[in-house]
Amino acid sequence: MRALIQRVVRAQVAVDGEIIGSIGTGMVILLGVAEDDSEADAVWLAEKCANLRIFDNNEGKFHYSLLDIEGEALIISQFTLMGNSRKGRRPSFTQAAKPDKADLLYQFFIRHMKNLNIHSEIGRFAAHMLVSIDNDGPVTLIIDSEESR
């Protein structure tokens, strides 16, 4: 499972012109699910996101986590994070989980974030979405659950 995390001051997601989720200070989590991912990967990644110290203290140093600042998360499913573009000019998505499995693990990840008391807004799985992000910093990180294995 792979997450591209962006620290934001605000973000929103729209489908067919309708805003379906929006947050203030916190993080946008673009989430890709691989075929070999499990609930254990989702738990590890959710806890990593919630506890990652990427929010500044008074000295401008990364010191606080999403939990510490009581920030929000906008969680967007994004299978293209599992793309492989090493060969040719068109990315391959063979490592991405099939939609049924990906949706189950995406929903499991969301539930775990909410269980950690992170206010979480979400996109719509498999929909064409327009995501607006006001990246703060900018701060952008990629975290892969393979790091936990």
Catalytic annotation, residues: 80
Angle of helix 99-115 relative to helix 39-51, nearest 10 degrees? Answer: 40
Nearest Cα to Cα of residue 9 among 143, 131, 121, 138: 138
Which residues in 36-68 are b (16+ Cβ under 10 Å) and which e? Answer: ebeeebbbbbbebbbebebbbeeeeeeebbbbe
- Amino acid making up residue 22: S
